[in-house]
Amino acid sequence: MKQIKRRLMQAAIAATLGGAIAGGAALVDARPANAQAAYGSYVGIGAGFSLTEEAETGRGSGLDMVITGRYRFLRMPVSLRTTAFLFDNFTLVPTVSYDYPLSWNTDIYLGAGASFPIGDDDNPGPLGNRTAFVLQPGIDYVFPNSRWTAFGSAIIAFNAYRNGGNTAVALQTGLGYRF
């Protein structure tokens, strides 16, 4: 099982790096951009990394694969976002965010929601092993003249560990396809 998990993690990292290389190649052939708002919902894949661990056991940190989705409401600066950490104790993190445009292709945001660990209660994942309130500051960058978006955020889950109750913090980044 550990061998399969390792292979899937290597595939996730390779896919993320491949997406970054493809995005860089698209920038080489960039044409003048038309002014437009950084609109767009997307679905993306990337990597997440936990910065914290359970106080009593020292478990819960490490690299994980994430799938992220965003639905942007066009008439107001609000988005529905969901992130799924896939391997270490599958965790689903839905949030509602307030989006603030920095430029026509870059938004920063602050989201609030909850993390729901669905896997093994005894093995904490990147965001702990207990349902917790989360804050999610982040940034979205839309590549000019393309359907690709780079995303990055921190997810802070308060009182997220069953043993010790400390706060869990995970960073995530990746590449999304806008629709």
Rounded CA-CA distance 139/136 in Å is 10
Rounded CA-CA distance 167/179 in Å is 34
- Each residue's pLDDT expressed in tens, for the chain with a length of 179 residues: 454 444 444 444 444 444 444 444 444 444 444 434 456 899 999 999 988 876 666 666 678 899 999 999 988 999 999 999 998 778 999 999 999 999 999 999 999 999 999 876 677 888 888 899 999 999 999 999 999 999 999 999 999 888 777 899 999 999 999 99
Contacts of 118 (CB under 8 A, 6+ apart): 89, 90, 91, 92
Amino acid sitting at position 41? S
Instruction: Give the tokens for residue 104.
Output: 């026509």
CATH number of 2-28+41-178: 2.40.160.20
pLDDT, position 110:
98
Domain ranges of the chain: 2-28+41-178
pLDDT, position 36:
42
